[in-house]
Amino acid sequence: MLDEISLPNGLLPLVDITEVGYNRTSGFVWLRQKKKREHFYKDIGKPVTYDKEVTAFVEKHRIKKQTGIYIDDPSNGQITFKTPFRISRTFPVAAFAFGMN
């Protein structure tokens, strides 16, 4: 699904997934895993916690209503994480490519 919307395939490093759903019409996605998981992205020096259930609305270059993850311009090689409080932080897309972090 991440490849389909042009986002890095390591962005959601979930394990022990028990259920996955993707409604292409609305863009709604849900993933359930057996337990909450923390993943450390060494290229950016940040841990990210993924709850037992992750839901979002997706479209080309964007994940919305999760934490506002998006790529403004895919050619610039940057990904921006934006919170509802308008705080954002930008990192290299390569930091989230599967097998590179």
Q: Does the reported pTM lie above 0.85?
A: no
Question: What pLDDT is recorded for position 91?
Answer: 86
Question: What pLDDT is recorded for position 21?
Answer: 94
Question: What pLDDT is recorded for position 100?
Answer: 45
Question: What pLDDT is recorded for position 69?
Answer: 67
Distances (CA, A) of 34 to 51, 87, 97: 9, 31, 23
Q: Which string of DSSP letters, residue by residue, matches 40-66?
A: EETTTTEEEEE-SEEEEEEETTEEESS
Low-confidence ranges of the chain (pLDDT < 70): 67-74, 83-84, 98-101
